[in-house]
Amino acid sequence: KAGVTQTPRYLIKTRGQQVTLSCSPISGHRSVSWYQQTPGQGLQFLFEYFSETQRNKGNFPGRFSGRQFSNSRSEMNVSTLELGDSALYLCASSLVPGGPQETQYFGPGTRLLVL
C-alpha cells in the first residue's frame, strides 16, 4: 500500500506570495492532519480534516487554511507569506479521527523556503 504523498517536495517563494501544498493520504484513510516543523518551534499541529470538514485547528493565523476533497486528498494554503513561514510542512493520515487506535502516518513533507 502506498504511503502518504506530498507535492511538491520543495518550494521557494517570496514574501507576500501565496502557496498551495497538496497531500494524498494512504488509500482508505479519511482523516488528514497538517503540521509545521521549524527549528525554533518544533512540530506544531496546524489543522485536521475529515469528511471534507475541518475538525480541529491549531494556533496559527488565518493566513493558514486548508481543505479536503471528497477523495480525502487535502490541500493547505498559506497566503501573504512571511519569512517565518519557511518550514517543513508535514501531512499525516489516519483511518478515521479520534480514539487511541487511529495512528497517524506521515508523508515526507514539503520544504518551503520564503525569501
Partner 1 sequence: DQQVKQNSPSLSVQEGRISILNCDYTNSMFDYFLWYKKYPAEGPTFLISISSIKDKNEDGRFTVFLNKSAKHLSLHIVPSQPGDSAVYFCAASPPGTASKLTFGTGTRLQVTL
Would you tell me which residues interact with partner 1 (CB under 8 A)?
4, 31, 33, 35, 42-45, 48, 50, 55-56, 58, 90, 92, 94, 97-109, 111
Residue closer to partner 1, measured from CB, 44 or 79: 44
Measured CA angle at 48 (ends 46, 51), to 5 deg:
155
In the chain the first and final C-alpha atoms are separated, in Å, by: 37
Cβ distance to partner 1 smaller for residue 81 or 92: 92
Complex with partner 1: residue 15 or 57, whichever CB lies closer: 57
String of b and e for 84-96 (b: at least 16 CB within 10 Å)? ebbbebbbbbbbe
Nearer to partner 1, 58 or 79 (CB): 58
Question: Least distance in Å: CB of 80 to partner 1?
Answer: 25
Please enumerate in sequence order all residues whose Cβ is within 8 A of that of 106, keeping only pairs 6 or more positions apart, or say none: 4, 35, 90, 91, 92
CB of 45 vs partner 1, minimal distance in Å: 5
Report strand pairing: 31-38 vs 42-50.
antiparallel
Least distance CB 69 / partner 1 (angstroms): 18
